[in-house]
Structure 1
Amino acid sequence: MKVAKRFALALAVVFAAAGIAAAAETVKIGVYLPITGGNAVGGQLELDGVNLAHKQYPEVDGKKIELVVVDNKSDKVEAANAVKRLIEREKVCAIIGTYGSSLAMAGGEVAEKAGVPMVGTSCTNPLVTQGKKYVFRVCFIDPFQGAGAANFAVTELKAKTAAMLIEVTEDYSVGLGNFFKQNFVKLGGEVVSVMNYQKGDQDFTAQLTEIISKNPDVLYIPANFAEGAIIMRQARELGATFSILGGDAMDNPEMVSIGGDSVEGFSYTSFAYSPNMPEKLMSDIQKQFTKQWREAYPDKDPAALTGCGYDAYLLIYNAIKNAKSTDPEKITAAIAATKDMPGVTGTTTINATHDAEKPIGIIRVENGKQVFHAIVDAPAK
């Protein structure tokens, strides 16, 4: 009996040791994205990209990568709690996320205090990385996006006057709107009307009626794709004939489905990738990504947001590989040192403010399809 007990105890020790060894051979990367709530569609698109990258690169330095995904529910408090859980309970060495600048700011504060690197996906507000050592992003920032949109409005749309419709409870919309306004005025344009709405609004008749009375050449809407599509539909129903221009949050296939004919001719700034962009503009990694996506999801197109998720994973993967370590401090240093990393949304260089220097794309709706129109280079260094 004693021999049996000793054998069982020895066996338990062996199994425990094997479990510890297995855990040591696993690299945990956290992901916090809005899978439910108002930003769920964008969050899911990015998660698809993260998952595809994980499928292509499941191991680093012989260690299996485990993704721990937590839904931030499109809520700032939940975003902070999600990051806290990933760090304290799941013991991740790095974090991907998130769609939505407000959510990224909330989660970033937690990651910063804990000293765990976080890579934002499509959170373009400058405040996301401002003053942060451990927070980075793979997307361009709104000062550049706003400048690009203003330049497009003046040079290609020939706009001399502009109106704006801003979602005042969303940092992304307010910030991007301000950058567009500053640059449009700097280029000689006049902003004749700035109207506001709040998240979840469905009726924009009052604001649009006021805007139409000002007869602008272009209406700028730094909106979420669903609200933006409704705004365009109601604008056309009210007889608006001006051009409409938006930002990267409009980059979603559902936008055309919701807006119908009303979105025809709409242009927006986005990340420099589209599955239908001219092949001569596509890099090798963009071609590879598109092929892999078609094989994995033959019934739907990838979006630029999908590329953001993919690139965020690649940035952390390469950092771990280059650092030859899962220590958060070493991963942080390797991310900060990233130069000219090929990605789906363009070549990424992390600058001194931890933002990605990369080009932006202009996409237009033509004959009911989102067509890649042009690439605008990043500002000179």
Structure 2
Amino acid sequence: MKKFIQKLTILGMALALVACGGKKEEEASVIKIGSVLPLTGGVAAFGQASKNGILLAQEEINKKGGINGKKVEIIFEDDEAKPASSASVTQKLINNDKVISIIGAVNSTCSIADGPIATQNKIPMITPVSTNPKVTTQGGEYVFRACFIDPFQGKILSKFAIEDLKAKKAAVLYDVGNDYSKGLAEFFEEAFKEAGGEVVASETYNTGDSDFNAQLTKISALKPEVLILTDYYNTVGLIAKQARAAGIDAVFLGGDGWDSPDLFNVGGEAINGGYFTNHYSPDDTASQVVEFKAAYEKKYNEVPSSYAVLAYDAANVLFAAIEQAGSTDGEKIKDSLKNIEYQAVTGKIKFDEDRNPIKGAVILKAKDGEQKFVKNVKL
């Protein structure tokens, strides 16, 4: 009996070693990448669109054999668009899931929280859509982005307001507690004043507010020609309705935070005639845009937003950098990203000294439930 038990023990140990070896071999053949997105909460539409874009990129790369013969596995985490949650799940991805890089976050406030963690752990991070300059300057040398930044976006809005709309008086209304909203508003104000325009009102509110009548009453009395709304689609829609009810007939202008079909569900007719800056237009006839749009619509049966396309671009830039590095070492991937030149759907991506891509923008018009392409803009 004793010998029988010994044999069973030896057999068990052998099976465990085989299983362990098989697991290690399986892990060695997989590249784990984390993704931090707002999959629930007030801007869940942004998170889901971003997830769709990343999953499409993952599917395509794996069909081609993966990266240097290894399959790509994306591990998604929900940050609920909250900086504290974002930092927490970033730590989880790095310490528990052992990811080699991170795609995300979406909200600038979340990316600002995540960046220093990524750099401290030497984990390359690329955000698809966080436009606040502090994302990379405070995040450190391991933090990159696939989108243009707010100083550029603010100048584009100012240029369009003055040159195309012939506006001389502007009012600004923004969320004082949101880095994206506050930063874009301030960059617009600076550019508009430098160009000779007058900012007749600069009003603020707090995150989560839903009643803007006090601020809008002040703005209405000053009769601006344009009203700059730098928040996300859900809040912009609410403000647009209340602004029209308050008698404001100014043209609404905003940034890429407007980019969601839900803008029209919330804002209705009030948002008609508004303009916003964006990273691409689905109406673009460039071959890469056409091919991406066709693949995305086939998979998801919807027109891709800029969040979907930028997440797709961010994922593919990262995949290319890992392939060029020939390694999953964080420092080598970071160095590869710094020197990469990649033709993405939204344009050629080459990073400047602050790890921001130098890109153009488009102006879109909100009309009858659709985004209409107006023009391409470069400074």
| TM-score, with structure 1 as normaliser | 0.95
Match of 1:31 in 2: 35
Answer with 158-167 or 39-48: which moved more: 39-48
Q: CA deviation at 1:8?
A: 3.9
1:53/1:314 contact within 8 Å kept: yes
Match of residue 142, structure 1, among 143, 150, 153? 150
2:42/2:234 contact within 8 Å kept: no
Name the SS of the counterpart of 2:98 in structure 1: coil
2:34/2:76 contact within 8 Å kept: yes
Separation in structure 2 between the aligned mates of residue 302 and residue 246 of structure 1, nearest angstrom: 19
Match of 2:322 in 1: 320
Separation in structure 2 between the aligned mates of residue 269 and residue 305 of structure 1, nearest angstrom: 13
2:36/2:86 contact within 8 Å kept: yes
Amino acid aligned to 2:55: N
Match of 1:104 in 2: 111
| Cα distance change of structure 1 residues 367 and 41 upon mapping to structure 2, 3 Å threshold | closer
Structure 2 counterparts to residues 174-323 of structure 1, below 5 A: 174-272=182-280, 274-275=281-282, 277-279=283-285, 282=286, 284-298=287-301, 300-323=302-325
Q: Does 1:354 align with 2:355?
A: yes
Note the alpha carbon deviations across 1:55-80, whole angstroms, 9 max, x for none.
11121111011111111121111111
Separation in structure 1 between the aligned mates of residue 72 and residue 45 of structure 2, nearest angstrom: 25
1:28/1:93 contact within 8 Å kept: yes
Q: CA deviation at 1:7?
A: 3.7
Separation in structure 2 between the aligned mates of residue 220 and residue 214 of structure 1, nearest angstrom: 14
Amino acid aligned to 1:294: E
Amino acid aligned to 1:303: S
Q: Does 1:345 align with 2:346?
A: yes
Amino acid aligned to 2:157: A
Answer with 143-152 or 16-25: which moved more: 16-25
Amino acid aligned to 1:94: S
1:169/1:199 contact within 8 Å kept: yes
Match of 2:23 in 1: 19
1:82/1:107 contact within 8 Å kept: no
Count of residue pairs brought into register by the alignment: 371
Note the alpha carbon deviations across 1:31-76, whole angstroms, 9 max, x for none.
0111122232211211111111111112111101111111112111
Separation in structure 2 between the aligned mates of residue 38 and residue 118 of structure 1, nearest angstrom: 24
Match of 2:364 in 1: 363
Q: CA deviation at 1:355?
A: 0.7
Amino acid aligned to 1:293: Y
Q: CA deviation at 1:180?
A: 0.3
Separation in structure 1 between the aligned mates of residue 41 and residue 320 of structure 2, nearest angstrom: 32
1:322/1:334 contact within 8 Å kept: yes
Separation in structure 1 between the aligned mates of residue 159 and residue 334 of structure 2, nearest angstrom: 35
| Cα distance change of structure 1 residues 38 and 179 upon mapping to structure 2, 3 Å threshold | same
Gaps of 5+ in 2: none
Q: CA deviation at 1:5?
A: 4.3
RMSD value over aligned CA atoms?
1.3
Separation in structure 1 between the aligned mates of residue 26 and residue 8 of structure 2, nearest angstrom: 27
Match of 2:57 in 1: 53
1:286/1:343 contact within 8 Å kept: no
Identity across aligned pairs (percent)?
A: 36
Q: CA deviation at 1:200?
A: 1.4
Amino acid aligned to 1:368: G
Name the SS of the counterpart of 1:231 in structure 2: helix
Separation in structure 2 between the aligned mates of residue 368 and residue 68 of structure 1, nearest angstrom: 34
Answer with 232-241 or 315-324: which moved more: 232-241
Name the SS of the counterpart of 2:207 in structure 1: coil
Name the SS of the counterpart of 2:137 in structure 1: coil
Separation in structure 1 between the aligned mates of residue 262 and residue 347 of structure 2, nearest angstrom: 24
Note the alpha carbon deviations across 1:234-272, whole angstroms, 9 max, x for none.
111222211110011001111012111111110001112
Match of 1:83 in 2: 90
Gaps of 5+ in 1: none
Separation in structure 2 between the aligned mates of residue 102 and residue 163 of structure 1, nearest angstrom: 24
Q: CA deviation at 1:360?
A: 1.0
Q: CA deviation at 1:228?
A: 0.4
Q: CA deviation at 1:278?
A: 4.1
Match of 1:127 in 2: 134
Name the SS of the counterpart of 1:129 in structure 2: helix
Separation in structure 2 between the aligned mates of residue 186 and residue 113 of structure 1, nearest angstrom: 39
